[in-house]
């Protein structure tokens, strides 16, 4: 709090000590608004008309998000760069720091938790510190009342603002401010309805924009950028609270995609209004029927093969994997932006029931997507080390028994995947293995309904 109060005091001092003609430019002067949202932040492009006095002066640009990063602001006039001699960012006039900064050296009233009122003088923001008679009070636990006075702005003018001291800009001018702000983010949401046999699903995609800021963006040209864009330094960039307020579903504008360097940018063809603390969704693509493979996968741990484990491992449930291809889901040769897959199936009464979420990475066209949506309830695996020998300092040999029980009503196949370090050899096995890569071996184990299957194997591994 100390640094925030001091910063507010410095900014107010700068604003009051510079004798410049001041022009206040508000959102009512806006002629164009653009909002490009990235995962975790956004770029705002705000264009406004202003009538500036001759010889330069001060421009107060009100109506900006409190999460703005002041270090990223770019100001232009009629499309040309502007010479800015001094730039300050003032938080909301009614924020605690700004209110107290206006009253340093002035009279205030301290109100104790019990309601007792004490006349005092605000001596310093560093604390803050108050003087009552011949005593100083530090660490006041109650609240502080200050006179409102004529200096406080009313309504929207009391919100956060940027102040520019400029040269060479006058008369009727089109000003454009571009800056980054936190508190906004976007992701793709994919909703899948699985067929009963899990061989196909109906998938649709949506762009979900979260505005966790205190600012509204009316009739904005909305764009979103897909890809991992590096964002370093700058001011505070708070993440939005997930689904902070009601969700607004925009009326199905078309979404166009274009390359943006090594990223992809999606542009809505009609303006969209995004209210403060609101979530907006627009379609990315309509429903598609696609093929999907459902797998049950049991994953091992590499350290198991380099030591003795006399006790059986805790019971495991194989994970449920859905594998499908981005075969033109969002259009020919179109990528799928990162987001979340939400899966549903129909119950015996044909009602949709939720069955799990999975993250989806940025996926170019033609690439496969593997989504793990949960663990199989009726499949249980019990893993036991039946033998272990350390042959030398770097060579270990172990034998394993994995019993897989299927308590469900349908036959299943479980893929057992074991990660192995170093040079390894399967010495014995009850089922034929597949060498996936230099450090991975797997088995496909059919397990009948209401039955069980047992995989046994012995492996020798030499580590470097």
Give the integer Cα–Cα distance in Å for 429 and 427.
7
Residue 160's closest CA among 91, 215, 71, 89? Answer: 91
What pLDDT was estimated at residue 9?
33
Q: What is the mean pLDDT of residues 424-450?
A: 97
What pLDDT was estimated at residue 253?
60
Give the integer Cα–Cα distance in Å for 47 and 68.
16
What pLDDT was estimated at residue 294?
95
Contact between 29 and 49 under an 8 Å Cβ cutoff? The reply is yes
Residue 288's closest CA among 356, 192, 372? Answer: 192
Q: Which burial class, exposed, middle or buried, applies to 150 when counting CB atoms under 10 A from its CB (0-12, 13-18, 19+)?
A: exposed
Residue 242's closest CA among 416, 40, 391? Answer: 40
Q: Give the torsion sign (CA, 268, 272, 276, 282).
A: negative
Residue 163's closest CA among 102, 98, 215, 90? Answer: 90
Contact between 58 and 21 under an 8 Å Cβ cutoff? The reply is yes
Average pLDDT, the chain: 85
Residue 230's closest CA among 267, 258, 263, 257? Answer: 263
Q: What is the mean pLDDT of residues 434-438?
A: 95
Q: Evaluate if residue 252 carries a pLDDT over 80.
A: no
57-61, 107-111, 150-154, range with greatest mean pLDDT: 107-111
Residue 274's closest CA among 455, 99, 35? Answer: 35
Largest Cα–Cα distance in the chain? 90
Whole-model pTM over 0.75: no
CA distances from 186 to 245, 250, 281 (A): 15, 15, 10
pLDDT band at 8 (very low <50, low <70, confident <90, very high): very low
Classify strands 129-132 and 117-124 as parallel, antiparallel or unpaired: antiparallel
Sorted by sequence, the CB contacts under 8 Å of residue 365 that are 6+ apart come out as 326, 327, 328, 332, 333, 334, 335
Contact between 377 and 352 under an 8 Å Cβ cutoff? The reply is no
Q: 3-state secondary structure string, 105-148?
A: CCEEEEECCCCCEEEEEEEECCCCEEEECCEEEECCCCEEECCC
What pLDDT was estimated at residue 435?
96
Q: What is the mean pLDDT of residues 138-155?
A: 70
What pLDDT was estimated at residue 95?
53
Q: Dig out the tokens for 333 from the structure.
A: 């040769």
Residue 83's closest CA among 59, 49, 50? Answer: 59
Tell me the domain boundaries of the chain. Answer: 2-35+42-98+151-181, 103-147, 201-285, 293-462
Give the integer Cα–Cα distance in Å for 170 and 204.
51
Sorted by sequence, the CB contacts under 8 Å of residue 207 that are 6+ apart come out as 186, 188, 189, 224, 255, 266, 281, 282, 283, 284
User: pLDDT digit string (tens) for 324-358?
Assistant: 999 878 777 788 999 999 999 999 999 999 999 99
**Angle at alpha carbon of residue 10, lines to 8 and 15, rounded to 5°:** 95
What pLDDT was estimated at residue 248?
47
Q: What is the mean pLDDT of residues 90-107?
A: 70
Q: Which residue has the higher pLDDT, 241 or 304?
A: 304
Residue 37's closest CA among 237, 196, 195, 300? Answer: 237
What pLDDT was estimated at residue 464?
81
The number of C-alpha atoms within 13 Å of 380 and in the hemisphere containing its C-beta is 10
What pLDDT was estimated at residue 92?
59
**Cα dihedral: 90, 26, 234, 241 (round 10):** 100
SS3 226: strand
Contact between 317 and 408 under an 8 Å Cβ cutoff? The reply is no
| Of 222-236, 375-389, 449-463, the least confident | 222-236
Q: Evaluate if residue 148 carries a pLDDT over 80.
A: no
b/e 96-118 (16+ beta carbons within 10 angstroms → b): ebbbbbbbbeeebebeeeeeeee
SS3 245: coil
């Amino acid at each position: 709090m100390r640094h925030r109060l001091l910063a507010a005091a410095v900014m107010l001092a700068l604003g009051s000590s510079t004798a410049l003609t001041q022009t206040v430019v508000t959102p009512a002067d806006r002629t164009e608004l653009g909002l490009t949202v990235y995962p975790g932040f956004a770029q705002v492009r705000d264009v406004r008309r202003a009538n500036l006095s001759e010889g330069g002066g001060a421009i107060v640009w009100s109506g900006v998000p409190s999460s703005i990063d002041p270090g990223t602001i770019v100001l232009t006039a009629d499309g040309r760069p502007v010479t800015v001699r001094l730039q300050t960012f003032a938080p909301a006039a009614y924020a605690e720091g700004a209110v107290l900064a206006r009253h340093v050296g002035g009279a205030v009233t301290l109100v104790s938790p019990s309601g007792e009122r004490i006349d005092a003088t605000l001596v310093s923001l560093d604390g803050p510190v108050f003087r009552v008679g011949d005593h100083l009070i530090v660490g006041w636990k109650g609240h502080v009342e200050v006179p409102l006075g004529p200096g406080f702005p009313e309504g929207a003018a009391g919100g956060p603002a940027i102040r520019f001291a400029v040269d060479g800009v006058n008369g009727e001018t089109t000003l454009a401010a571009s800056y980054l702000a936190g508190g906004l983010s976007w992701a793709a949401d994919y909703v899948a309805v699985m067929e009963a046999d899990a061989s196909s699903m109906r998938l649709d995609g949506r762009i979900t924009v979260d505005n966790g800021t205190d600012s509204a963006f009316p009739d904005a040209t909305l764009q979103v950028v897909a890809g991992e864009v590096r964002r370093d330094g700058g001011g505070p960039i708070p993440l939005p609270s997930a689904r902070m307020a009601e969700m607004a579903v925009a009326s199905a504008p078309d979404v166009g995609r274009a390359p943006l360097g090594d990223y992809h940018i999606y542009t809505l063809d009609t303006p969209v209004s995004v209210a403060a603390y609101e979530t907006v969704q627009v379609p990315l693509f309509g429903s598609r029927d696609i093929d999907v493979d459902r797998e049950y996968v049991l994953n091992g741990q590499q350290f198991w093969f380099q030591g003795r484990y006399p006790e059986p491992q805790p019971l495991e449930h194989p994970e449920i994997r859905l594998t499908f291809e981005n075969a033109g889901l969002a259009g020919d040769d179109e990528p799928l932006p990162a987001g979340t897959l939400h899966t549903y199936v129909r119950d015996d009464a044909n009602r949709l029931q939720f069955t799990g979420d999975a993250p989806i990475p940025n996926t170019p066209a033609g690439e496969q997507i593997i989504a793990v949506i949960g663990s199989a309830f009726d499949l249980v695996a019990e893993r036991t080390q039946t033998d272990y020998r350390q042959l030398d300092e770097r060579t270990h040999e172990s034998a394993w028994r994995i019993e897989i029980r299927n308590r469900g009503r349908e036959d299943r196949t479980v893929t057992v995947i074991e990660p192995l370090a170093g040079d390894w050899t399967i010495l014995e096995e009850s089922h034929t293995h597949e060498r996936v890569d230099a450090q991975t071996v797997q088995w496909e184990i059919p397990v009948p309904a209401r039955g069980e299957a047992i995989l046994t194997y012995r492996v020798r591994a030499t580590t470097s």
